Structure formats: structure tokens, C-alpha cells
Structure 1
Amino acid sequence: MTRLTIVTDAWYPQVNGVVRSIENTNRELTRMGLDVSMVTPRDFRSIPCPTYPEIRLAVTLYGNVARLIESYQPSYVHIATEGPLGLMARHWCLAHHMPFSTSYHTRFPEYVSARWPVPEGWLHAFMRWFHNSGNVCMVATDSLERDLAGRGLRHLARWSRGIDAGQFTPRPLEDRPFGLPRPIFMTVGRVAVEKNLPAFLDLDLPGSRIVVGDGPVRAALERRYPDVLFTGAKFGRELAAAYAQADVFVFPSKTDTFGNTILEALASGVPVAAHPVTGPADILGGHPEAGALNDDLRTACLTALQRCSRTAARDLALTYSWEAATRQFFDNVMMANGDRLLPVAAE
């Protein structure tokens, strides 16, 4: 049996795009007949990340990580993150001459610089050092690939994302969802500094604004914006039901590499308003009936409200599937090892 080991510093109890992407990909890989094993912070003692306690950082020795990887006897290794476990897995692969793939999920230099006074140039050099040692580095979009190639990253390959269109689906609209007047402008995700939430919350918009999610700056933003509803984190059916009541989904981030929540909103029949940056521009570009892009986020919000279609939003989301994205992912994994053929599970 083909055995794939995925190493990630991002895993539960975190809930973010990285975790969801890996979780959905693992499900599809298992359906394809692969034996998938994981190396995550849950395998070791961990501590909260400074300034971001929801993120747990593994505290362990290289030998412990090496023994765990070796116990899985992997045919292939994929390193999803550049954290402590990713660094030790990288070292193990290089020491054992094991080809490996990586993925660029997060604009790590921009995220770190938003919290600590570390020059972005140093961090971009670290990312080149980390990813260029692998055989393939997976990126989600065309624009991200162009950006990273310009920064010296090599061996770039595309890995898109999918959507569970059965979970995230249009529903009947309530007159006053959450007890608030329409139109409803909503954003969903981590309530953290890199998400650029004030760019949305400072806007003069009709109706109501809702933030679904939790994170380190939630309390501060609740004090600063008392007229905004902060619901906290929602999951599963409750999250899907919340999405479906929005009139416009607002994506204020300028640093995400894709934006899984954009697909979740579109699948729920909700038009999207965003800046024309990596992620939103790749998904919505050429689809003005499904969402609006503008450097002026207020203009984007009002355009999405007045001119976009809930049907068009749903139709765009349906062009994405986790099955297609996962086959793309595993083709990249095998390409890193000099193989281009996908295994087919027995019927």
C-alpha cells in the first residue's frame, strides 16, 4: 500500500484554512486508497504560541520526530508548515535522502512582521531556504505562484482547494437573522491582526455587520466596535447556517494565500466583497456577477450587494471540488519523487 506521511504544525484545536485543507485532503486521499499518517503537535508536549495561544507549538527533540516518521515507513513525505515539526521533518528527509514536497499555506513573513519587529527580508530568505530544499512547493493560485517565483522560490506547482457544497448551501433567508436588520455584511475567520478586520469594521455600511470567529484580538475589537455582532466561533451546521443568512460576505484580508472562507460563502449563495489581491482576485476574477473586487472595500461591498447574484455565487463555487484538488495534490507529491502516475483504489 502507498503510505503518505503529512507533517504539520497546524492542527486541532486550531481551526483555520490550513487545518481544513489538510483534513479534507486526507479524507479524499483515503478514498483513493492511500494510507495517510500524520505528525502533528498532538503527538508531543506543546506550548501556546506567544501572542496567539490558540496555536500550539510542539516541544520535542529531533529524535522523537524521526522515530515517529520512521515508524510510519512512508513512501512519500509532505511537509505542510514551516514550524518546529516542519523543520525537524525537513532535516530528517534531507538526512535520509527522502524526496519531499512542501506547501506554502501562509504568508509567514507578513504574519510575523505584523507581530514582531523582524525584517520581512530575513523571513523571505528563511522561506526560500526551507521550501527550495524540497522537490516541489505547492501553491494555491496563479498570482501567489508569480509572487513567490519573483522572490526566488523554485519547483512551484499548483494545488487548488475544494468545497463541501452539501454542507455549505443556500437556505431560506430570514427577515432578521441574529435579530438584526438587513442587509447583513458578514466575515468569517480568525479574529487576528493579520486578517485586517478594521478595514471592514470601520466602513459606513447600511444594515448590520457580523464577525463569526474567535482569536487573540476579539476582545479588543468588541470594545472598539460595540455596534458589531461578534458571534464567536461556529462549526458544522451552525457555521453553514450562519453563512447562508449573509447578504454579502466581506473578505478584508490582504495576506491570505487563498481564502477557503470565500468558497464557503459562495457555496452558500453569498456574493463576496474583497480587495483585488492574491486569493480573492484568483477566485473572483472574471466573475463579476459572483463578487466584487475593489481597492475601496466599501465600494466592493455595495457593488456586491446591488449587482451580484446569489445563483452566480453558488455556480462559481461548484466549479471547485476536493476530489479534483486532492488528485492535483497527490500528483505533486508523486512528482516530487519522480513519479507522475496516480494510484487507483481497488473497487
Structure 2
Amino acid sequence: MIRLRGSSPRVAIISDTVDDTNGIAIGLRRLVAAARRAGHDIHLVGAARPGVSDEVVRMPAAMNVCLPIYPDMTWSVPEVPALADWLGRSADLVQVATPGPVGIAGLVAARMLGLPVIAQYHTEVAEYAARMTGMPMVRMLVEPLVAWFYKQADVCLAPSQAVADRLASFGIAPDRVWRIQRGVDRELFRPSRRDRSALARFGIPADAPVALYVGRLSKEKNLDALVAAWATVHAARPDARLLVVGGEGPLRGTFTQPGIVEAGGLYGEELATVFASADVFAFPSETETFGNVIVEAAASGLPAIVAAAGASHEHVVDGITGLVVDGGKPAQLAAALLRLIEDASLRSELGGAAHAHAASYDLAAAVRATFDVYGRVMASRQLEAAS
């Protein structure tokens, strides 16, 4: 039974990925932490993990499996009665973040309890599956399941126009697709952290031009195109370095090509310093639904080179804060990299504009906008209950 409250609702965000180093988990943890600092009652809910005890509400798992396309990730099927019991005591509204076993269990439990359900679209699951398996037909098998999941929600949240278009393609009515603001920690990611000596540990000379990639090391990030582009860059500028940062993904340990340095996973202030200390951000992914790292790069004062496909380009004003290229054409990516590597004045101009543009991604404002959405959903439910 839903509680009709005049104050901020108690929110449970349920996700299959809370322990991984990816945009979903990092973004959700950042949102929850900022919302709690603002005094809101909000919890991140995920599956239990052996030996893990943190601020996440952990649900016991009935089963754990590993999928061939994501062998380094464990997918848990939670115990629905335990989840429903906790939600019944602790939540007024449920937000499901992923269409996996935990997300589906959250949807089922919320419907059992009569709680309103919001679904945020974070991942191009069907496209990921197709790219990682190398079988385009997989997309046609997975996409109807994803569409079914989002159609069950009262409201779907879209962090980008690309996602809004995707949800519309599922047949979800426009009045049930709401754009949602996202934010970045601009205190953590800022140009003043620049310290070229911090790159010395990776064997990068202090005067070397540095392009940076940060993200999951996997096929769906279109890293083959970046590696191919860097071969062209290296031939023209053997002094330049591509620093690849990522602690997760099946391609870990494979970036051994000339001029490429693989750093492993970096986090917190260490990552923020590396962002600010590079010269260009290169992100060729064509499957982004938002692209946290692009905004983090901008906040750090870096011009970004991104793909025109997916949502990445929505955070870059082409020719003003960075460059937008065809991610399927390594030659275009190489030309953009060389253009910025060889023109320090242009880098500075675009980087300064990117930093100014990042001010529109204020984290506190994003929290306020998110809870405004929650309030609107609750108000709608209250009107239904009163009628």
C-alpha cells in the first residue's frame, strides 16, 4: 500500500550493477551520496556479495550466473520475497536501473506492493550483446525483452536525446518518457588538478602530448577504432602517448601497441589528476546512453573527440568544446587527434570552452531535478488514489 506523504518520498534505486566500475554504478552511487547529503531518504539496492559490506542495501541471491558475453561480471537472481519485504517497509517509490535479474525482481516486487515504478535507461543492452558476440542477430533477440521491461514502468527516464529516441522506438508514449538531468562532481574534476609529474609513473615524458581514454575495456566501446587510429597518430607523432585507463573488461592487458600505455583502473583524486593532466580526451564509443567520462573530461578542461553515434556527441559542441567524428572511420579519429595534438592553441581554446560548458552539469542541481521528478510521480499517484 503506497504511503501518501507531503514530504520527499523514500526512494529505492534497484540495479544489477552496483559493484562494477562503470557509468551506471558510479553514477548511481554519486547520485545517492549527493541526495543523502541534501537530506533525502534514498537507498541503492543490489545483490549480496560475499565479504562486501557497504552503504548498498544487499538482497540475498537465489542464484548467481556468469554470461559468456560478460565473463567478468556476476549476474544475481535475488530472492523476491526478501526484496518485497524490505521495499514494503522502506520505500514509497522504486526506480529500476537495469533490465537484468535484479531489475526485473525489483519491478515484480514493486508491482506486488502497488508502488510506483520509474525505469531509467542506462545501457544499450541489445547493441552491447550484438557487438560483444559479433552476431548482429542477437540484437533482434534481446531488444524485445528490453522493450518489454521499460514498457512496464509508469515513467521512463532518459538522460539523453538518444535514449529518448530509443524509448520511443519501443512504442513507449512520449508523455511517459521524461528527460532527466545528470551531474558531475566539479569539485573533484577540475583543471587545477593538472600535474604532469603524475604521468611519470606511467613512463610518459613531461613534454609528451597525451591523449586519454577512460572507460571499460571491451568491444562495445569501439576500442579497435581507437587503436587503429593511434597507429596513424604514432607514425606522425611518435612522441605522443595514448593513456588507456580502465580496470574492467575482457580487453585488459591487450593495449601493448607502440605509443599506447595501459594504466589499469584509477579512481577518485588519482583519476581526476590524470584527467586534468592529459591534453585530449578520446572516446570512440558509439553505444553510450550518456557518457559520464565525457563530462568529467570537460570539467577537467579537456577537449573531447567523440563519435557521432550514441549519446556522446550530445555533450560536445563540435568545433567549440571538442570534435565529433564518425566512430566507424579510424582515419577521421586519427585526423582529429593529430589536429589537437599539433595545435596547442586550439586545444587550450576548446578545453576552456569545455570547462565552461561543464558548469551546466551541476550535481546538486541534478539531485534537485531528480527529486522533482520523484515528486511529480508521487503526486500523480496520489491523484489517482484520491479519485
* TM-score, scaled relative to structure 2: 0.80
Choose from 321, 325, 330 the match for 1:290. 321
CA contact (8 A) 2:88 2:113 kept: no
- Contact 1:99–1:336 (8 Å) recurs in 2: yes
SS of equivalent to 1:257: coil
Q: What amino acid maps onto 1:91 in structure 2? A: V
Counterpart residue number, 2:35: 29
1:6: which partner in 2? 13
Q: What CA distance in whole angstroms lies between the structure 2 residues aligned with 1:280 and 1:37?
A: 28
Given that residues 101 and 138 in structure 1 are in contact (C-alpha distance below 8 angstroms), is that contact kept between their aligned partners in structure 2?
Answer: yes
Q: Structure 1 residues 308-317 or 255-264, which shifts more?
A: 308-317
1:318 aligns with 2:359: yes
What does residue 255 of structure 1 align with?
287
Distance (Å, rounded) in 2 between the aligned partners of 1:247 and 1:209: 10
Q: Which has the higher helix share?
A: 2
The 5 A counterparts of 1:1-347 are: 2-12=9-19, 14-42=20-48, 43=58, 44-45=60-61, 46-72=64-90, 74-116=91-133, 117=135, 119-154=138-173, 155-170=176-191, 171-172=193-194, 174=196, 177=200, 178-181=202-205, 182-203=208-229, 204-205=232-233, 206=237, 207-219=240-252, 221-222=254-255, 225=257, 227-285=259-317, 288-295=319-326, 296-305=332-341, 306=343, 307-308=346-347, 309=349, 310-339=351-380
Q: What root-mean-square deviation, in Å, do the aligned CA atoms of Structure 1 and Structure 2 show? A: 2.3
> How far 1:144 sits from its partner (Å)?
2.5
Q: State the Cα deviation string for residues 258-296 of structure 1 (Å, max 9, x = none).
A: 1100011111111101111232221113x5221011212
Query: 3-state DSSP class of the match of 2:254?
Result: helix
User: Counterparts of 1:220 and 1:234 in 2: how far apart (Å)?
Assistant: 15
SS of residue matched to 1:39: strand
SS in 1 for 2:78: coil
| Alpha-carbon spacing, 1:219–1:324, altered in 2? closer, same or farther (3 Å) | closer
Quote the offset at 1:312 in angstroms. Answer: 1.5
The structure-2 alpha-carbon separation of the partners of 1:161 and 1:304, relative to structure 1 and needing over 3 Å to count, comes to farther
**AA of the residue aligned to 1:252:** P
Aligned AA (2:209): P
Amino acid at match of 1:24: R
CA distance in 2, matches of 1:119, 1:301: 33
Residue pair 1:9, 1:85 contacting (<8 A) in 2 also = yes
Cα pair 1:101 1:332 within 8 Å, conserved: no
Give the Cα separation in 2 of the matches to 1:262 and 1:219.
21
Distance in 1 between the 2:69 and 2:141 partners?
A: 21
Given residue 179 of structure 1, which amino acid in structure 2 is its aligned partner?
Answer: G
Indicate if the aligned counterparts of 1:100 and 1:337 stay in contact, CA closer than 8 A.
Answer: no
Select between 43-52 and 328-337 the one with higher mean Cα deviation.
Answer: 43-52
- Segment drifting more, 18-27 vs 28-37: 28-37
Summarize the Cα distance change of 1:119–1:47 in structure 2 as closer, same or farther, 3 Å threshold.
closer
The SS at the match of 2:107 is: helix
> 1:112–1:145: structure 2 CA closer, same or farther, 3 Å change rule?
same
Q: Which protein, 1 or 2, shows the higher relative CO under an 8 Å CA cutoff with sep ≥ 6?
A: 1
What is the distance in 2 between the residues matched to 1:304 and 1:331?
A: 40
% identity of equivalent residues: 28
Q: Which runs of 5+ in 2 are unaligned?
A: 1-6, 49-57, 327-331, 383-387
Asked whether the 8 Å contact 1:62–1:88 carries over to 2, the reply is yes
Partner Cα separation in structure 1 for residue 166 and residue 153 of structure 2 = 19
User: Which protein is bigger by CA-based radius of gyration?
Assistant: 2
Cα deviation per residue 1:235-254 (whole Å; 9 max; x = unaligned)? 11111111112111000100
Q: List gaps (5 residues or longer) in structure 1.
A: 342-347
In the TM superposition, residue 331 of structure 1 has moved relative to its aligned partner by 2.3
Conserved 8 A contact 2:162-2:289: no
Q: Choose 100-109 or 197-206, whichever is displaced more.
A: 197-206
